[in-house]
Amino acid sequence: MPYRRKTIDPEKIKEQQAICAELFERLTADGRRPLAFVDTYGCQQNEADSEKLRGYLAEMGCGFTQDEFQADVIVVNTCAVREHAEMRVLGNVGALSHAKKARPGQIVAVCGCMVQQEHMAQKLKMSYPVVDLVFGPHELWRFPELLRQVMDARERRDDRRRVFATAKDDGAVAEGIPLRRDGTVKAWLSIMYGCNNFCTYCIVPYVRGRERSRLPEDILREARQLVEEGYKDITLLGQNVNSYGKDLDEPVDFADLLRMVSAIPGDFVLRFMTSHPKDATEKLFRTMAECEKCAHHIHLPVQSGSDRVLKAMNRHYDRAAYLEKVALARRYMPDLVLTTDIIVGFPGETEEEFEDTLSLCEEVRFDAMFTFIYSKRVGTPAASMPDPCTRAEKQLRFDRLTELANRISGEKHRAYEGQTLRVLVDGETGKEPYNLSSRTSGGRLVHLRGDPALIGQFVDAHITTSNTWALYGEVVE
């Protein structure tokens, strides 16, 4: 059964904005500007969601702080992909009780993927009395209404009343939520939400719901506005951008969308993430090669180099198919920057199967690899697969893979020494002598010596030296 795409009625978003105006009156009644602290964990999608939370909070009159002792409202936007992130969240949320003791009026909200898991919402309910409000990703659009419920309870002196909004849902598309972006040079642009792939290790499809695409006209409107506002680096976001448009009535796919966005007049770099290898098509590679503004960078998570493990992961490709895609992409873009994600120690992974991953990495020579030790996620199929390998063995494998990744990245970086590359200056490093940070079109980090007035501009950089993590250079006048 194809999933029927749901949308939130724009009138409902307007109602939320009216609630923001009402909360503005209440929050600023004593003439003081309230402060909010939005703490974000996890992926870029979460960063983008936090920009919406900040958008609403700004409409409520809030300024922003990073200091929980100064904040009137704290929102912790959580991640559920690995246990480590959850542990950090729980530790930090627990520690918020100190700030709340010092500021009894403070409101603490926890939202995002972690709380969409029933056992985690329960845990917060039972063991974290500091938390006043909990809401999952599907409820983000009605954050003002939920916050008002908490404030109403406070006013009634009903301090025990806490608000939990984590109902099971497939998710919907909500347009019109105000955004307050983090930077002035780089911007995230969500083009779709959710995931339909059900890789056996992954919790995302359970917490973020089914794939649903925004309409091309809504995406284009936002992109045009970003260019007008002077953003120079736009990243189209989705869990699997290659399946963009499958749920739309219009016959439009991701490559078409990429072409439409890159046709917007202006000087900017267009990127996207993440791509599932099974859906990365020749049409996509051709479009990337043809569109001048499109960065020659693709993040193509391979996860493993072993056919058996890939099958057990439900990835729908094997090693040979992945290598073919890479070769095809490189045929279209010889200068392609290729990055990947890899999971080490998937249940039942043998030493030989791990070595298949190492050999695949040697063969592909990724520009950067994001490597993770498998983390068991409650409710996913992999959680009930036999997993005889010990944590210590997995750690050893992880260390070997990291060593390989660093060696390859260092070698790739060294090859840039002496070259002149076009980069976008995106900020200051806070360190001398290389005081500016910048990125190549392929997303490589370049530390530069130069005038901070160059932030937000494209410049030519002469690369003088490098290490495993970055390139270093001078601005060519």
Binding piece for ligand 5AD, criterion CB under 6 A, among 106-114, 150-158, 371-379, 406-414:
371-379
Question: For 147-231, where are the E strands, in sequence order?
Answer: 163-165, 186-190, 192-193, 212-213
What is the DSSP code string of 3-70?
PPPPB--HHHHHHHHHHHHHHHHHHTTTS---EEEEEE-SSHHHHHHHHHHHHHHHHTT-EE-S-TTT
Nearer to ligand 5AD, 37 or 322 (CB): 322
Which residues are near ligand SF4 by CB under 6 A?
195, 197-199, 202, 204-205, 239-240, 276
User: To 10 degrees, what angle do helices 351-364 and 319-332 make?
Assistant: 10
By the 10 Å C-beta count (0-12 exposed, 13-18 middle, 19+ buried), 461 is classed as buried
- Our finding on whether 82 is near ligand 5AD (CB under 6 A) is yes
- Our finding on whether 301 is near ligand 5AD (CB under 6 A) is yes
Integer Cα distance of 113 and 174 in angstroms = 17
Nearer to ligand SF4, 51 or 211 (CB): 211
Binder of ligand 5AD out of 201, 244, 254, 472 (CB under 6 A): 201
Alpha-carbon torsion angle 439, 440, 444, 447, nearest 10 = -50
Residues 429, 447: contact at Cβ < 8 Å? Answer: yes
Binding string to ligand 5AD for residues 376 to 415, with x set by CB under 6 A, is what?
-x--------------------------------------
Binding partner of residue 343 among ligand 5AD, ligand SF4, none, CB cut-off 5 to 8 Å per kind: ligand 5AD
Binding partner of residue 195 among ligand 5AD, ligand SF4, none, CB cut-off 5 to 8 Å per kind: ligand SF4
- The type of residue at 92 is N
Residue with tokens 């992409």: 329
Binder of ligand 5AD out of 303, 437, 441, 466 (CB under 6 A): 303
For ligand 5AD (CB under 6 A), the number of binding residues is 12
- Our finding on whether 372 is near ligand 5AD (CB under 6 A) is yes
Integer Cα distance of 249 and 163 in angstroms = 37
- The type of residue at 453 is A
Count the Cβ atoms, other than its own, within 10 Å of residue 51: 21
CB of 272 to ligand SF4, least distance (A): 14
- Our finding on whether 202 is near ligand 5AD (CB under 6 A) is yes
Nearer to ligand 5AD, 66 or 384 (CB): 384
Residues 368, 412: contact at Cβ < 8 Å? Answer: no
Nearer to ligand SF4, 206 or 354 (CB): 206
Residues 258, 294: contact at Cβ < 8 Å? Answer: yes
Binding piece for ligand 5AD, criterion CB under 6 A, among 125-133, 320-328, 373-381, 416-424:
373-381
Nearer to ligand SF4, 198 or 469 (CB): 198
Alpha-carbon torsion angle 138, 143, 145, 146, nearest 10 = 80
Binding partner of residue 198 among ligand SF4, ligand 5AD, none, CB cut-off 5 to 8 Å per kind: ligand SF4
Binding partner of residue 372 among ligand SF4, ligand 5AD, none, CB cut-off 5 to 8 Å per kind: ligand 5AD
Binder of ligand 5AD out of 182, 341, 355, 417 (CB under 6 A): 341
Question: For 79-118, where are the E strands, in sequence order?
Answer: 107-112
Smallest Cα–Cα separation from 75: which of 27, 17, 35?
35
Binding partner of residue 54 among ligand 5AD, ligand SF4, none, CB cut-off 5 to 8 Å per kind: none
The site for ligand 5AD (CB under 6 A) is made up of 81-82, 201-202, 301, 303, 341, 343, 372, 374-375, 377
